[in-house]
Structure 1
Amino acid sequence: MTGTEVRPPLAMRAVPFLPLGLLAALGATLAYVVRLPCRTGGWNDQVSTYTNFCYTDIYPLYFDRGLSEHNPYFAFDLPFDKQVEYPVVLGEVMQVISWIARALEREVAAQAVRFYDLTVLLLGVCLVLGVLLMAAVAGRSRPWDALWYAISPAVILAAYINWDLVAGVLCMGMLLAWKWRWTIPAGILLGLAIATKFYPLMFVGALFLLTLRTAKWRTFFVTMASAVGAWLVVNLPFMIFAWDGWRRFYVFSQERGVDWGSPWLFFQRKEWPVLGEVDVSTLGMVTLALACLGIAVLTLTAPRRPRLAQICFLALAAFMMTNKVWSPQFVLWLVPFAVLARPNWKPLVLWQLAEVWYFIAIWLYLLSQPPLEREDLGIGDDTYFTAVWGRVITIGIMMAFVVRDILRPEKDVIRQAGNDDRGGGVFDGAPDRFALSSLTK
């Protein structure tokens, strides 16, 4: 908030939030309905799960990760590849919900269904809170942009595949705390978000680049110290007392091969020489580093300092496009940042259509793959990869428009309304202290 901005009464500021919350609750309910065919028995038949498009990780992992008997990270008698492969915040969410499910049900099958229901309830709450927080970040002039996060088809379809909405609400909370210049809470929420899913680490780079341009170093360092502190508080106990369980996520991430959704899978399946003998993890990190370097140059040479949401979106999109796995639920990461970066409905609709097509295509493709090999029900490589590249191309289009808005700020719909960076916190209205363009003058 700039110094000259006058805030309206609280009642007026709160007007959009009730309908937004109700619509987000509707989206959460529809996401539950989408998976009802599996909830009522379909998970016991893999073909039915895929043909009904109702797959989720939540139910099978209750069995496969031994949650009916063990606590995550302390399951020392489980094989390493059967231990929970998520950062500790998600592991603890799974642990608490499994305790409740075990207390409520005696039979393991009933426990798993209860575990799913309770997890979905939590994720639904996270979606509603995430939408409300996003609306607050967007500001009173554009709170309805949060509808994209509340009821967009891709969000409804992907909401309950995994636990990603937990990280989403922490990221939105971090952005709002940063906007309100609550430095320490912003850092704590960022640290917890990184301890939930790895992708929020990309926002550290966005904050650093804009700090480099504005010289708001004290705020940056306090935020980073708070983030590191929060991350250590939740990770250190497991690092000390359950090292093997704790490191499972990091070992799995490093050793995991090319997986579904990644553009690298296309080159691998087509046996194109682009992969060569290079390790895909290395190739992914190199291409991500090059993309981040391009974002850094863009940030430091733009005629006007970019908005925080723009750089966060570009960094996160680059991370997703260069990763060796791109699961359908990753759309939940990007939706709020894509909308905050550039709330233009045409490219967003195009991208949403691509995400919906990918959601359909991945399950049909898995039907034709081992061990099912139901080619009569599934689709082949060529059709599947139209969906893979559809996501890449549509996100690339959105990235190109955001880059255009950065290079030509008068095209930015947010700044056309007279705003500088309404979600930028200390960056909002801050003068430039450093830019590469100034070095050549």
Structure 2
Amino acid sequence: MDGEVGDTATLTPDQRVVPTWTEPLVASASGPVGGPLGTHAAIGRHWFWTPLRVALLLAVIALTIGWFGKAACVQQFYNEDAKQLELDWRSSRPFVAMCYSDIIPLYSAERLNEGGFPYQTSWVDDEGKPTAHTRYMEYPVLTGLFQWVNAKFTEGWLAVANAGWLPTGLPVTIFFDISAFWLALAWLVTVWAVARTARRRPWDAALIAASPLVMVHAFTNFDTLATACAAAGVLAWSRRRPGLAGVLLGIGAAAKLYPLFLLGPLLVLCLRAGRMRAWGRTTLAALLTWALVNLPILLAFPRGWWEFFHRNSLRGADPDSIYNVFVQFADWEGFDGPLAFGQTPFWLNVVSAALFLLCCAGIAFVGLHAPTRPRLAQLGFLVLAAFLLTNKVWSPQYSLWLVPLAVLAVPRWRLLLAWMVVDALIWAPRMAFYLGDDKKGLPIDWFLSFVIVRDLAVIALCVLVIYEIYHPARDLVRQHDQDDPHGGVLDGAEDRVTVRRSSRRERGERRERRDGRDVAVGAVPGQDAG
């Protein structure tokens, strides 16, 4: 059923994108419900089932599947020796059942079960050993406070349950379920924001809602908090509210730093379009919001606040980073060689940062050089993909960051679904690798082979995005002579700064505009419409 969402009801029939007509995958899948939409069908007239509501329903189903996928790791058993209920992680259950979630061990690892305030509470890991060191909450401020609030909800739940009003269980089980509820709500916000942003293609949000990555990683960590803020920020920008967009990106950065990366593509596009005032408002709002959230914790508990940055500087190449691939397959000791405990991998940090900056410089060149100004989602996707590919850490749930921007940047369902399936499937060899050789786990070569395939899939999407930037006629979003429907103040703006020579035709168009013409004869669609 193809309908409209929100303010798209005023679109004419030829402006509505019908997935069962444009996507062979959707056309084939529509067989059990009657096949593709009829030529004379009434679109956007159903009283309830809009694309947004269908996408939200699909998201609820996918999130439910994701919760059941993690449920095996919160099962309990009665320990006869200790005479108490315990979490059933016997026989390496998290890896055998592939249900591992950071949320579960963090409840005790971050001392949330002891009731202390994060960033103030400290503890000693490896006490009594040469590797003993002081620890604090290692997450950004909003994510740390999110965990603490859920721990307090857990205490309240148990208090009411002990009075016989609610079902009870182990505190860690209740903590996980409460956290999962809010994380699921955050992903629903992500779906809602993308559906509202993609005004002419609201059905694309269904691909986000039913993504295999959501089914596997929605509850692996706390990343849906940041995706909700980033997607809502893009929505606010598309509605020409740069200040609100900055506030939302700043809130997202206080939960996970990546939403701030979107300020880079906005800088390039606003510079090209002569809309620097809007970029300034967004950036100022983002930085002020991030500072206002972080400043109280920084002033009250500076050492605890710094832990997130300190721990990340100490991390080596994660198992599924490209650097670890080279270390394993090339029998190489890495940029820094063997490191002592607590030693910072200096050269690894420098190389990963330098590669990311080089990629950003290349993306900026594309943004200023392409014959038609790229769309925000296109450059945003390229920046996030470059960060993940060059970073020394690519935790599996980080792939969720790419999903909303990928759907907005290159809404080709079969290609995106293929990438998401491959990315989600890495979870199986990863869990099998973590079992270890002594428990008949997979060798690391199998796991790294899947990592290489995933990286190649993301690189292929980046190549496709760049191709469509330089060949805008192939861009599915630039239909009906659109410029950037997600671009807000950028949509339809005339180019001011580029790094390419203007053609005689384009120079003629600008002269016509200076003479007072509203629309240049022969204007390039999507570039200088104004």
Same fold, judged at TM 0.5 (above)? yes
Q: CA deviation at 1:379?
A: 0.7
CA distance in 1, matches of 2:73, 2:45: 43
Aligned match of 2:368: 300
CA distance in 2, matches of 1:286, 1:350: 30
CA distance in 2, matches of 1:62, 1:128: 24
CA contact (8 A) 1:194 1:201 kept: yes
Query: Residues 27-426 of structure 1: matches in 2 within 5 Å?
Result: 27-41=62-76, 44-45=89-90, 47-69=92-114, 70-77=116-123, 82-105=135-158, 110-139=170-199, 141-272=200-331, 275-277=334-336, 279-368=347-436, 373-374=438-439, 376=440, 378-426=441-489
Give per-residue Cα distances to partners, 1:231-253, cap 9 Å, x unaligned: 11110001100111101101111
CA contact (8 A) 2:207 2:413 kept: no
CA contact (8 A) 1:43 1:55 kept: no
Q: CA deviation at 1:368?
A: 1.7
Structure 1 residue identity aligned to 2:141: V
User: Would the alpha carbon gap of residues 180 and 209 (structure 1) be closer, same or farther in structure 2, given more than 3 Å must change?
Assistant: same
Greater shift in the superposed pair: 412-421 or 185-194 = 412-421
Structure 2 residue identity aligned to 1:56: S
CA distance in 2, matches of 1:434, 1:112: 55
CA distance in 2, matches of 1:198, 1:361: 28
CA contact (8 A) 1:347 1:394 kept: no
CA contact (8 A) 1:267 1:274 kept: no
CA contact (8 A) 1:31 1:157 kept: yes
Q: CA deviation at 1:391?
A: 1.0
CA distance in 1, matches of 2:466, 2:280: 27
Question: How many equivalent pairs are there?
Answer: 430
Structure 2 residue identity aligned to 1:8: A
User: Would the alpha carbon gap of residues 431 and 81 (structure 1) be closer, same or farther in structure 2, given more than 3 Å must change?
Assistant: farther
Q: CA deviation at 1:81?
A: 5.3
- The gaps in structure 1 that reach 5 residues or longer are 1-5
CA distance in 1, matches of 2:432, 2:212: 18
Q: CA deviation at 1:218?
A: 1.0
2:72 counterpart of 1:26: no
CA contact (8 A) 1:88 1:235 kept: yes
CA distance in 2, matches of 1:272, 1:295: 32
Structure 2 residue identity aligned to 1:352: M
Q: CA deviation at 1:439?
A: 7.7
CA distance in 1, matches of 2:45, 2:145: 38
Structure 2 residue identity aligned to 1:35: K
User: Would the alpha carbon gap of residues 440 and 282 (structure 1) be closer, same or farther in structure 2, given more than 3 Å must change?
Assistant: farther
Aligned match of 1:3: none
Aligned match of 1:433: 496
CA contact (8 A) 2:211 2:417 kept: no
Q: CA deviation at 1:46?
A: 6.2
User: Would the alpha carbon gap of residues 165 and 43 (structure 1) be closer, same or farther in structure 2, given more than 3 Å must change?
Assistant: farther
CA distance in 2, matches of 1:94, 1:412: 41
Give per-residue Cα distances to partners, 1:266-319, cap 9 Å, x unaligned: 112235559444721111011111111110111110000000000000000000
> Matched residue of 1:205: which SS?
helix
CA distance in 1, matches of 2:8, 2:220: 39
- The gaps in structure 2 that reach 5 residues or longer are 1-6, 12-43, 77-86, 126-132, 163-167, 337-345, 505-530
Relative CO higher for 1 or 2, CA cutoff 8 Å, sep ≥ 6? 1
Q: Which has the higher helix share?
A: 1
Give per-residue Cα distances to partners, 1:313-360, cap 9 Å, x unaligned: 000000000111111111111111111100112321321232122111
Q: CA deviation at 1:440?
A: 10
Greater Cα radius of gyration, structure 1 or 2:
2
CA distance in 1, matches of 2:302, 2:460: 43
CA contact (8 A) 1:104 1:111 kept: no
Q: CA deviation at 1:438?
A: 3.2
> Matched residue of 2:500: which SS?
helix
TM-score norm. by structure 1 comes to 0.92
CA distance in 1, matches of 2:268, 2:303: 35
Structure 1 residue identity aligned to 2:206: L
